[in-house]
């Protein structure tokens, strides 16, 4: 079984040392209210992150965190205001020629959040897969395309005879699998999944999450998993990036971030994440909501909700700095604790554990299938 | 033993489609005591929302109430006239919708909508209306200055809380909620649930809370009812159910949660999907997906069996099934 | 307070309730034929189409032969009487059907296609393109139709081609707005973004992804325009802006009116084309209503459900 690589060890491939996807200072602003308006919405500010080969990176944040904008930037729905996106070492923000654009889209497809709106209701579900094959796999003839369509359906756990069905005949979970099949049809290196399970029932999510892990192992694709749910991010991701109000506030290996959350916002998310098996952890009633970042001043955007905020937080925007190798936090208080070699202060009550204890059980490998021999939904 | 506040018996709802009727709610019974928080949990399509609307007498074609009774404060709501129902609505019971944006009028301010609701069900002067509106907003933690805001000017969490405030205008005895937190982020969700629980304790109303996400009610409900394919699968006290789920479906639902803390383990979810309500399998409806299915499950439909203060619809708990099996097969 | 009704079938789709095994098309046709309005409209249109296609089957008389007695009233030989110059009114009516129908259909098709292209393109492209196209649409909407029609028809050579041109120009704008609205509502549907993200070109998206989802709206558009065109074509010709040598119901009306048919008591000469126009319009209108009902079940008249055994 292939171990996933961390960015520290560099991506595999001809561009040695170069990760699969790298963003540098990725920024996107929107002008609100017309040409002359001075109100600029800062959806994403200075996001620098990497995704390596055979890796699942989760971007976790609530609405308004900028995670959806990140997905849109990476699929080139609009260009960044500032910053660069490097894919396999090549800058892709300003691709113009049809050939280049088609190349990129054939390597980095997107899976949508809403299975009920992501497929055209007048066509059979094979339509998207067939079109993807036609556009991106010109070497295939008709029979070849048919075979490929069956293959990708099988990979996602759907039987080939479902190709002829219409979307309304399928459940939400099945439709979402079709979405992944469409993405696989182009033989991608990186699949962008925008909240792929948020609209599915909880009992169906496991199947899709397992499938995502299996895609990483068996097909060798990387995934960018955008979600607001920390628990599923923990289950399926190798690394987690936490976003708040357009900023990246913490990133690192999934186990490290969740067992030793250093940013107060990560701690808040963790304490609010429901776990029915445990007693509820109390969060402050007045915990507020993520702000809409319009014409922001310098300073940490979480400070209004942060019990540990110090004077510096209002003056200086915290930058990402390591608290451990590979584990970065953008927080003055956390960085100060690291410098002074102090144990970390907690903004919200959360159980810190050592990374080792929670990593002993096997992560989702997708290698086993559930008992009963029943085909997935 | 005081009478329950709400007693639903054998409620049955059909969707009358062009060529066949589909039974969305099949002889469901439940009861809610005064001040009790009942969670109704199930996957999409299990009938939980239909059940809620049926209790509130808000069904419209093609959904039709076929049978059963809904006794609320002693009166059977199914048999009441529209006039009598209107008198009860909002004063004795209220409904909170799934998405505030669907239920709130985007063209009217919050104050105007509260005023509409108040005027529809009582006579108060404009000043009284204003005061009461401000009061309920304060109850849910919204600054009354927002009375003159429009729904789109409020954040998602605030909109949902405004919906709850509207439901509390007359401090009803029972509040029915249909997935009010599903559109919210996890922190807002947690804050809202906490708020609802606080209000419930403070004002003493009962709550029926419909959701597909068990974890949302796990810390706040007194009892939980799990629904599957239009029927009740299990009913019982919350803590006990989470500690020891009886029905294989309940167990499957709980195992579908990736844990945020503690050891990681392989999640399996529940393979397959809920049955087509138009073509139900013979015997137990959950049997095709059940890891504990017995041969009997194909033939016999289980009833609700009492186990230790809870009730479960599963042949595993039918005394008979364990002793001499009827029609025993190898 | 608006309370959403639990009536839609979306509640069922999540449960994996599969649709009945009959296809969408069969169910649509079944619903169509069960509607009284649809049946009536369809019958009218079919009958008129038949008359247009096979006029010789209904009458032996040459419509232009002015050989009969002048201004005779209805009789067995001349069901609707004769004209001032001795032509058989009935055969004029029958032979005039074809050109009338041709005008209506051609204009409706062109207008619908035009409104579809402009409306959907405006919705899909958005921004400056949308603003320009919408401005164009609004200009054509604001111009008062009848005066424009009259002015144009007056200056251009009279005849069928002018009629068609002039009617096309003035009947596309309203539908374009409707189709643009529908197109806008589709923008938020992910399947369009999905097509874009997989690399489809904008023209492909408009023609293959958007248009097929709007077929019922386009059909309804077509029918709506047809109702309008029937009336305005006849109206223009009635005002004398058509070419009298081309035989249509409108020119028939014009001839009758110009020759004081009503005053001289030859009522059927004028009344029959008028009624025919009204009937054609009604046929399209009824079918249009039926389409609305299919699209929106809330509009369907409450029907007693036949007792059906469980299927």
Q: Would you kindly state where each structural domain of chain A is located, as residue ranges?
A: 260-360
Residue B13's pLDDT band (cuts 50, 70, 90): very high
Could B219 and A289 be called an inter-chain contact, meaning their C-beta atoms sit closer than 8 Å? no
Nearest CA in chain C to A106: C198
- Across the interface, do A362 and B266 touch by the CB < 8 Å criterion? yes
| Among candidates A202, A230, A286 on the partner chain, residue whose Cβ is nearest the Cβ of B260 | A230
Mutate: best of A174, A176, A203, A253, partner B, most B CBs <10 A: A203
Supply C148's token pair.
Answer: 């424009």
Highest mean pLDDT among B156-165, C252-261, C272-281: C272-281
pLDDT in tens, C155-183: 887 777 878 888 888 888 888 988 898 88
Q: What is the pLDDT of residue A352?
A: 66
Q: Kindly determine whether residue C200 and residue A172, on different chains, have CB atoms separated by under 8 Å.
A: no
Q: Which residue has the higher pLDDT, B141 or C158?
A: B141
Nearest alpha carbon to residue B231 among B313, B122, B131: B313
Sequence-distant contacts of B245-252: CB under 8 A, at least 24 apart: B246/B307, B246/B310, B246/B312, B246/B314, B246/B316, B246/B317, B247/B286, B247/B312, B247/B313, B247/B314, B248/B286, B248/B290, B248/B291, B248/B292, B248/B314, B248/B316, B249/B286, B249/B289, B249/B290, B250/B226, B252/A203, B252/B289, B252/B291
- For position A353, what pLDDT does the model report? 62
Q: Is the peptide bond before B102 cis (omega within 30 degrees of 0)?
A: no
Measured between beta carbons, which residues in chain A are less than 8 angstroms from residue C209?
120
CA-based nearest distance B222→chain C, Å:
27
Q: Which of A181-195, B110-124, C240-254 has the lowest mean pLDDT?
A: C240-254
Closest CA–CA distance from residue A78 to any residue of chain C (Å): 12
Helix axes C24-34, C267-295, angle to 10 degrees: 130
CB contact under 8 A, B58 and C6: yes
In sequence order, what are the beta bridge partners of B72? B6, B75
How far apart are the CA of A15 and the nearest CA of chain C, in angstroms?
26
- C280-302 mean pLDDT: 74
By the CB < 8 Å criterion, does C191 face chain A? Answer: yes
C-beta atoms of A109 and C198 within 8 A: yes
* C10 near B CB under 8 A: no
A129 has pLDDT over 90? yes
Q: Which chains touch A (3 or more CB pairs under 8 A)?
A: B, C
Residues of B within 8 A of C6 (CB-CB) are 49-50, 53, 58-60, 63
Minimum CA–CA partner of A375 in chain B: B272
DSSP structure string for A273-295: S--TTSPPPP--TT---PPP-BS
Q: What pLDDT, on a 0 to 100 scale, did the predictor assign at position B100?
A: 65
Instruction: Please identify among residues 202-221 of chain C the ones whose CB lies closer than 8 Å to any CB of chain A.
Output: 209, 212-213, 215
Q: How far is CA C138 from each of CA A35, B232, C144, C170, rounded to the nearest angstrom?
A: 24, 57, 12, 11
pLDDT digits (tens, 9 = 90+) for B254-281: 888 777 776 677 787 788 778 888 888 8
- Rounded to 5°, the CA angle A243-A337-A245 comes to 15
CB proximity C27 to B under 8 Å: yes
* pLDDT 10s digits, A152-193: 999 998 989 999 998 888 888 899 999 999 999 999 999 999
Mean pLDDT of A61-83: 89
Please say if the pLDDT value at position B21 is more than 80: yes
**C283-299 mean pLDDT:** 75
Measure in Å the smallest separation between the Cα of C216 and chain A Cα atoms: 12
Which chains are within 8 Å of B by 3+ CB pairs?
A: A, C
* Top-confidence range, A357-366, C68-77, C208-217: C208-217
Q: A129: exposed, middle or buried (C-beta count within 10 Å: 0-12, 13-18, 19+)?
A: buried
A269:B186 CB<8 A: yes
Q: How confident is the model at residue A10 (pLDDT cuts 50, 70, 90)?
A: very low
Please report the pLDDT score of residue C27 as a whole number.
62
Residue A58 near chain B (CB below 8 Å): no
Residue A59: its pLDDT value, please? 96
Give the pLDDT band (50/70/90) at residue C256. Answer: confident
pLDDT of the residue at A377: 36
Give the per-residue pLDDT at A88.
92
Q: How far is A326 from chain B (nearest CA, A)?
A: 21
- Asked if the C-beta of C18 comes within 8 angstroms of chain B's C-beta atoms, the answer is yes
Q: Tell whether C196 lies on the interface with A, counting CB pairs under 8 A.
A: yes
Give residue-wise pLDDT tens across range C9-18: 333 333 333 3
Does the beta carbon of A9 lie under 8 angstroms from any beta carbon of chain C? no
Say what the pLDDT of residue B188 is. Answer: 80
CA distance A172 to A305: 37
Q: Which of C194, C210, C215 has the highest number of chain A CBs within 10 A, making it the mutation to test binding with A?
A: C194
Q: How far apart are CA C81 and CA C218, in angstroms?
A: 41
Residue in chain A closest to C25 (alpha carbons) equals A122
Q: From the centroid of its chain, how far is CA C309?
A: 40
C14 — contact with chain A (CB < 8 Å)? yes
Please, which residues 212-231 of chain A have a Cβ atom closer than 8 Å to chain B? 228-231
Judging contacts by C-beta atoms under 8 Å, the chain A residues touching residue B289 are 374
């Amino acid at each position: 079984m292939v171990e996933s690589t961390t960015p520290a060890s560099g991506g595999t491939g001809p561009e040695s040392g170069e990760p699969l996807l790298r963003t540098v200072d990725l920024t996107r602003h929107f002008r609100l209210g017309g040409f002359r308006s001075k109100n600029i919405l800062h959806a994403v500010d200075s996001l620098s992150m990497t995704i390596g080969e055979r890796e699942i990176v989760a971007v976790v944040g609530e609405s308004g965190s900028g995670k959806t904008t990140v997905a849109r930037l990476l699929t080139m729905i609009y260009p960044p205001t500032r910053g660069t996106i490097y894919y396999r070492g090549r800058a892709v923000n300003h691709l113009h020629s049809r050939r280049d654009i088609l190349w990129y889209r054939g390597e980095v497809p997107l899976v949508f959040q809403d299975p009920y709106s992501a497929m055209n209701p007048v066509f059979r579900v094979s339509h998207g897969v067939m079109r993807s094959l036609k556009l991106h796999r010109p070497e295939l003839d008709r029979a070849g395309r048919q075979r490929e369509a069956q293959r990708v359906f099988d990979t996602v756990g759907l039987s080939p005879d479902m190709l002829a069905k219409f979307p309304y005949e399928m459940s939400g979970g099945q439709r979402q699998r079709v979405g992944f099949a469409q993405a696989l049809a182009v033989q991608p290196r990186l699949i962008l999944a925008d909240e792929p399970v948020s609209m599915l029932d909880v009992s169906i999510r496991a199947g899709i999450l397992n499938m995502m892990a299996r895609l990483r192992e068996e097909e060798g694709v990387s995934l960018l998993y955008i979600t607001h749910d920390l628990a599923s991010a923990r289950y399926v991701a190798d690394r987690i990036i936490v976003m708040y109000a357009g900023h990246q506030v913490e990133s690192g290996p999934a186990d490290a971030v969740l067992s030793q959350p250093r940013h107060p916002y990560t701690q808040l998310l963790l304490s609010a994440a429901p776990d029915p098996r445990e007693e509820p952890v109390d969060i402050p009633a007045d915990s507020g909501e993520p702000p809409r970042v319009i014409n922001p001043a310098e300073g940490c955007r979480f400070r209004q909700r942060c019990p540990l905020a110090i004077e510096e937080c209002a003056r200086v925007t915290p930058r990402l700095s390591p608290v451990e190798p590979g584990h970065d936090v953008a927080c003055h208080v956390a960085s100060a604790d690291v410098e002074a070699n102090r144990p970390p202060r907690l903004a919200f009550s959360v159980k810190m554990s050592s990374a080792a204890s929670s990593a002993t059980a096997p992560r989702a490998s997708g290698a086993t299938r559930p008992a009963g021999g029943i085909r997935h939904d | 033993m005081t009478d329950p506040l709400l007693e639903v018996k054998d409620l049955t709802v059909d969707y009358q489609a062009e060529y066949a009727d589909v039974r969305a709610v099949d002889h469901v019974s439940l009861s809610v005591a005064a001040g009790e928080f009942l969670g109704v949990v199930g996957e999409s399509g299990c009938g939980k929302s239909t059940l809620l609307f049926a209790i509130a007498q808000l069904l419209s074609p093609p959904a039709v109430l076929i049978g059963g009774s809904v006794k609320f404060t002693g009166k059977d709501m199914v048999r009441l006239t529209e006039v009598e129902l209107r008198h009860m609505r909002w004063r004795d019971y209220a409904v909170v919708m799934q998405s505030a944006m669907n239920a709130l009028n985007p063209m009217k301010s919050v104050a105007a909508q509260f005023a509409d609701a108040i005027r529809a069900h009582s006579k108060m002067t404009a000043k009284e209306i204003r005061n009461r509106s401000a009061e309920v907003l304060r109850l849910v933690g919204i600054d009354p200055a927002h009375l003159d805001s429009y729904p789109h000017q409020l954040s998602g969490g605030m909109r949902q809380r405004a919906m709850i405030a509207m439901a509390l205008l007359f401090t009803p005895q029972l509040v029915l909620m249909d997935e009010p937190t599903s559109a919210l982020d996890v922190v807002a969700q947690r804050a809202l649930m906490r708020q609802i629980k606080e209000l419930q304790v403070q004002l003493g109303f009962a709550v029926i809370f419909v959701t597909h996400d068990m974890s949302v009610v796990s810390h706040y409900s007194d009892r939980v009812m799990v629904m599957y394919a239009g029927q009740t699968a299990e009913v019982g006290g919350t803590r006990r159910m989470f500690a020891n789920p009886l029905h294989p479906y309940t167990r499957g639902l709980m195992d579908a949660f990736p844990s945020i803390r503690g050891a990681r383990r392989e999640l399996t979810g529940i393979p397959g999907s809920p049955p087509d309500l138009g073509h139900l399998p013979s015997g137990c409806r959950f049997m095709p997906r059940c890891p504990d299915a017995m041969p009997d499950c194909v033939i016999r439909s289980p009833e609700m069996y009492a186990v230790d203060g809870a009730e479960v619809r599963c042949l595993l708990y039918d005394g008979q099934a364990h002793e001499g099996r009827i029609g025993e097969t190898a | 307070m608006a309370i959403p009704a639990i009536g839609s079938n979306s509640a069922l789709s999540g449960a994996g309730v599969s649709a009945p095994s009959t296809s969408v098309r069969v169910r649509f046709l079944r619903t169509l034929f069960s509607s009284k309005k649809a049946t009536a409209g369809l019958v009218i249109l079919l009958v008129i189409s038949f008359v247009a296609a096979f006029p010789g089957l209904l009458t032996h008389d040459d419509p232009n032969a002015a050989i009969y007695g002048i201004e005779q009233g209805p009789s067995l030989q001349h069901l609707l009487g004769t004209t001032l110059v001795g032509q058989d009114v009935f055969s004029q009516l029958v032979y005039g059907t074809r050109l009338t129908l041709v005008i209506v259909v051609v204009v409706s098709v062109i207008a619908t296609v035009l409104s579809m292209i402009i409306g959907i393109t405006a919705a899909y492209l958005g921004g400056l393109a949308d603003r320009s196209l919408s401005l164009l649409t609004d200009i054509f909407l604001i111009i008062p139709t009848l005066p424009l029609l009259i002015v144009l028809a007056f200056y251009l050579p009279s005849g069928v081609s002018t009629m068609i041109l002039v009617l096309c120009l003035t009947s596309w704008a309203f539908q374009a707005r409707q189709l643009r609205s529908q197109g806008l509502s589709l923008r938020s549907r992910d399947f369009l973004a999905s097509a874009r993200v997989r690399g489809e070109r904008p023209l492909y998206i408009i023609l293959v992804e958007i248009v097929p989802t709007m077929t019922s709206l386009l059909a309804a558009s077509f029918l709506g325009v047809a109702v309008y065109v029937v009336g305005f074509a006849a109206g223009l010709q009635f005002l004398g802006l058509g070419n009298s040598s081309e035989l249509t119901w409108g020119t028939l009306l014009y001839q009758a009116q110009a020759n004081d048919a009503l005053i001289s008591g030859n009522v059927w000469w004028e009344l029959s084309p008028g009624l025919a126009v009204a009937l054609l319009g009604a046929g399209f209108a009824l079918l249009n209503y039926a389409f609305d009902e299919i699209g929106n079940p809330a509009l369907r008249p409450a029907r007693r459900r036949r007792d059906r055994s469980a299927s």
